[in-house]
A and B are shown apart, each in its own frame.
Chain A
Amino acid sequence: AQSVTQPDIHITVSEGASLELRCNYSYGATPYLFWYVQSPGQGLQLLLKYFSGDTLVQGIKGFEAEFKRSQSSFNLRKPSVHWSDAAEYFCAVVRGSTLGRLYFGRGTQLTVWP
């Protein structure tokens, strides 16, 4: 069965530092992969997605992610973190044939120090 692992429950970085959030998936075929962000009091928002093609995908708010089939990973990166990036980040994979049926990881809480 498909699954998503986010090994880091909580990450703290200083403002301006680089960021990498890890995501590993288990899936038998080419996965459809997503990163969503959940800020306090707001709904989940899509940062970026990978369906096929270029394995480095660009998203909103300066985020990017790289799909590595050999490592079953889809790590999220940002070169310079802003205080407003503090939020919870979820990696997700499509489960089944319905694109909207997502299987989410447990999330990584990001704290940004000024």
Chain B
Amino acid sequence: DTGVSQNPRHKITKRGQNVTFRCDPISEHNRLYWYRQTLGQGPEFLTYFQNEAQLEKSRLLSDRFSAERPKGSFSTLEIQRTEQGDSAMYLCASSLGVNTGELFFGEGSRLTVL
């Protein structure tokens, strides 16, 4: 299966530690998105890349969060100095440049901050 792949699937960390999540999109997709989903809520948009360029960032993406997509392929989302409020499922999605509006989502990376 060559769908969107996210690693790790689950990360438990202590408050104040840094964590990094990786997303490998579908290979021909040039757009990549990060969303965050907390319990009982729908996904919330964080940021979006077209190729290697980060084109939009939500206000939710504080300065402790940084996302990169260095070669326009995989992407990383780093959270520095984690807080308990960062506990959530982090979802990655990708889409084609000629956008039909359909996003293909990965299974997500669940972060638990103790």
Contact = CB atoms under 8 A, between A and B. Distances in A.
Interface of A: 4, 9, 32, 34, 36, 41-46, 49, 51, 90, 92, 94-96, 98-107
Nearest to A97: B56
Interface residues of B, number: 26
A108 B42 CA distance: 10
Nearest to B47: A101
Given A99-B99, A100-B93, A105 B42 contact: yes
Contacts of B105: 36, 43-45
B22 interface: no
A4 B31 CA distance: 24
A104 B101 contact: no
Interface of B: 3-4, 31, 33, 40-45, 48, 55-56, 91, 93, 95, 99-108
Contacts of B33: 100-101
B40 A106 contact: yes
A43 B42 contact: no
B41 A99 contact: no
A44 B43 contact: yes
Nearest to A51: B101
A87 B113 CA distance: 27
B40 A32 contact: no
Contact of A43 (B4, B45, B100, B101): B4
A42 to B, nearest CB: 6
B45 A95 contact: yes
